[in-house]
Amino acid sequence: MKGKVHLVGAGPGDPDLLTIKAVKLLRCADAVLHDDLVPPQILELASPASQLYNVGKRCGVKKITQEEIHFLLIALASSGFQVVRLKSGDPLIFGRAGEEIDALRRSNIDFEIVPGVTAALGAAAAAAIPLTHRQVSHGVVFLTGQLADGENPDWMRLASSGATFVIYMPGRDYAAIASRLRAAGLAAETPCAIVSHLGRTGQQVELRTLQQLAHTTPLPAPTLLIVGEVVRFAPRDSFSQEYSERSQLAPWLASAEIQALFLQAQGLASDKE
């Protein structure tokens, strides 16, 4: 009898952000094929009888090709194994799940997709940044800084929409990516957040403008970059001094209506005391 492949999202790194279904599948899996970015604390949830395969590919170093991963998935499932293909974040976002799904379908292998918390959501939560906001951003765009050969996406068209940019794998050349964003039409004062080692020991969040980003020392990988006016809603003490001096609160925050509501809230709090 054929087994089954479960494409499972491991989330951004914190084991507490795993779904209950992901934990259940890990505990009963016969084999687990995992990315490099999946931390040991999550792998420890797998059954002691599980066969663990590290099939990660990071920073241009490939321990295994994508075709070899396909072969492993198909061979294990064809042997009757319950296989967990464990991917960092969500399997459907920059996780090459589409290629693995095609390979499984061609071989008539049963599969299931279990979503996970993608890095964009984890990074926004870690930095206390809303990815959308009624006043400044009505959408969010997920991009990758690492492009396949010959690809040249039109960031200018996306930038004109006013959407928040979340850039996965921005790389270490911050000057180059800042230049691309400026060329797309974003202002030098556009705020951005760099999140490093999300959900892991050593997590860092640094807030900059695009102008400052070009001169920022790269943080340890993996990193993720959030770009847009929503970054101004991050905690004020997280900003660099230069950014704080130049940054202005969104205009609507200073409106008379908001001030009146604030005073009313203060009165209610005083009454309770």
Alpha helices in 97-214 (DSSP H): 97-106, 119-127, 155-159, 174-183, 210-213
Burial of 23 (C-beta count, 10 Å sphere; 0-12/13-18/19+): middle
Q: Which of 2, 4, 21, 57 is labelled catalytic?
A: 57
Phi–psi pair at 160, nearest 5 degrees:
-70, -15
Q: Which of 35, 62, 110, 173 is labelled catalytic?
A: 35
Q: Is residue 21 annotated as a catalytic residue, yes or no?
A: no
Sign of the torsion formed by the C-alpha atoms of 127, 130, 131 and 135: negative
Per-residue pLDDT at 199: 86
Chunked into runs of 10 residues, the chain (273 residues) has average pLDDT values of: 93 94 98 95 96 82 86 97 97 95 97 97 94 94 76 79 94 94 95 93 92 95 95 72 40 49 61 58
* CA gap 215, 208 in Å, rounded: 10
- Structural domains of the chain, ranges and CATH numbers in brackets: 4-117 (3.40.1010.10), 120-249 (3.30.950.10)
Identify the CA nearest to 225 among candidates 182, 196, 197, 201.
196
Q: Is residue 35 annotated as a catalytic residue, yes or no?
A: yes
